[in-house]
Amino acid sequence: MCGIAGYIGLRQASPLLLEALRRLEYRGYDSVGMAIQHDNCVEIRKGPGKVAAVDSECHFAEMPGTLGISHTRWSTHGGPSQRNAHPFFDASKRFAVVHNGIIENYLELKELLRRDGVVFSSDTDSEVIVHLTSQNFKGDLLEAVRSVVKHLQGAYAFCVINNVDREIIVARNGSPLVIGIGQGENFIGSDVSAFVEHTKKVMYLDDFSLARITKDNVQVSDFAGNPLPLQVKTIDWDLEQAQKQGYKHFMLKEIFEQPQVAQDSLKQAVSITVRPARIIIVACGTASYAGYVGKYLIEKLADVPVINEIASEFRYQEPPLSKDDLVVAISQSGETADTLAAVRLAKKHGVKTLGLINVVDSTIAREVDQVIYTRAGPEIGVASTKAFMSQLVTLYKVAYSLADRTFDPQQLVSLITKVLEMQPQVKEIAQKYYHHPHFLYIGRNRNFPLALEGALKLKEISYIHAEAYAAGELKHGPIALVSDEMPTVALCPQDQVYAKTISNIEEIKARQGRIISIATEGDERIKSVSDDVLYVPKVDDILYPFMLVVPLQLLAYHIADLKGCDIDKPRNLAKSVTVE
């Protein structure tokens, strides 16, 4: 959940590490810090706040030295503050550590260390690592870290340096870590964006492994000390993909990339050869809403029963799984801790797993039996948009493949381009409604998960309270909320549930509710029951989710923008949720 970076070479480390922090900031942004080795000392500068703010206080790039580590934090143990910012020193200030993940047994370890006279300077779980390293150091930093990992329970990726050795030691168990291999220099990052302009040769560290990284060499071994082969890959990412290209926010850029994303995802080969008795879809947040759309599709087209499970719930249930089931994990990052745990649980029961994953070679992508990459490209905005689009396309392909058919929707890409043209109308509606403190979203059937997604987008980036309901549920309680203070976004395209949804809209209207409908071009009737209408093109019933999601994303975006919110980095969130 935090971002970590490292550099060793001949260049000044601090400007490179500062740039890496800017790129990794999407992973967490409540405090920032850097440790640089220079003249047999380690210097640490750090503070609470986002990278730019902390840098203006700490002037990171002025720190001299050609070896260092850095960190941008998303708090788990201990609030965002100077004392809880990484890196951490041991008492002698010879060792420094940055950590991403959670050390679950840290209280027990802290107690043992305290008995040995260790004084802690933070409230974090991470600080135990540096004190244990110092205690276990007998001249070889790698061996010290090898002893340390034996004491640790939980998920981690961490980097350790000391004041004299020209090396960075890294350890991984459950949190992502990638090494960039350069010429006479090497890099470390929580993902490749930390160093992608310097090298495209990368090595993903596996769980339960350690690496000793010098400027000319990388040695990898397992926790027991057995050497592991170096598996260097060349990536085809380019930095421009990760920059804003003139858009005000990454989120807006990513919304507008959706026609291209749909095209790329459509090209992906999808073949499900064995028809399962049942499919269980496991995912979190937006990815889980894509999964709900998948259920409607797979059941309708392929007649295979589908169960949708929120990964954080599934992992602690005792689901009756059978060998004929297929567990489908959907994840943009491929690092979400709960989704990963759900995959591991399925594998433990001997159930086959399929991953629909965006980030290539991410942990879930590597652990599932079969992976289909969703091809959204790097998604930087914390609110997921284009990844959802790519997940939808891929799920449609899965459903069609299970039905022995090919999903080849003519004009889907140009239709998505067309819905994007409604941005000016969406902006006008945002202007009219952005001051409302509550919103209701309704939809039926395949449109219901879209209502959930629309409400999630609004709440996470604008901090407006939004509730989504299956339209037929309204009269069972939530209709009590309706007043002219709480507008309803009604998903009402002319599909098979159109008439039913219109009735639900009428019920809201009769109670002075204000309605923003998203409907099919040419539908005049909807105007009489709505205050405002956004029209999407007429498509085959089954394709409406692709049309509806775009205005929902744009509405959330423009409302948040009018409210002056930090859209790409909403409060309390992080892009990749690698903790429970």
Interface residue list for ligand F6R (CB under 6 A): 284-287, 331-333, 336, 339, 383-384, 456, 460, 576-577
Tokens of 524: 């005049």
Please name the helix (run of DSSP H) or strand (run of DSSP E) that holds residue 546, with its range, or none.
helix 544-562
Known catalytic residues are 2, 575
Sign of CA dihedral 470, 490, 374, 399: positive
Residue 171 or residue 177: which is nearer to ligand F6R going by CB? 177
Nearest to ligand F6R of 193, 332 (CB atom): 332
Minimum distance of ligand F6R from residue 152's CB (angstroms): 24
Residue type, 246: G
310, β-bridge pairs: 283
Name the residue nearer to ligand F6R (CB basis): 376 or 415: 376
Q: Identify the three-state secondary structure at position 352.
A: strand
Q: Which residue is nearest to ligand F6R (CB)?
A: 285
Shortest separation between residue 280's beta carbon and ligand F6R, angstroms: 16
Side-chain-side CA neighbours of residue 439 (13 Å): 31
Q: Tokens for 281? A: 């879809």
Q: Residue 461 Cβ, how far from ligand F6R at the closest point, in Å?
A: 8
The nearest distance, CB 247 to ligand F6R, in angstroms, is 17
Q: How far is residue 433's CA from residue 247's CA, in Å, rounded to a whole number?
A: 24
Pairing of strands 370-373, 438-443: unpaired
Q: CB of 331: closest distance to ligand F6R in angstroms? A: 3
CB 1 within 8 A of CB 28: yes
CB of 25 to ligand F6R, least distance (A): 16
CB 395 within 8 A of CB 293: yes
Q: Please tell me whether residue 417 adopts helix, strand or coil conformation.
A: helix
Pairing verdict, β 95-103 and 154-162: antiparallel
* Cβ–Cβ under 8 Å, residues 160 and 135: no
Identify the DSSP state of 174.
B
Give 76 or 214: the residue with its C-beta nearer to ligand F6R.
76
Cβ closer to ligand F6R: 384 or 494?
384
Which of residues 43 and 254 has its CB atom nearest to ligand F6R in the complex? Answer: 254
SS3 3: strand
Instruction: HSE, CB side, 13 Å, CA atoms: give it for residue 495.
Output: 24
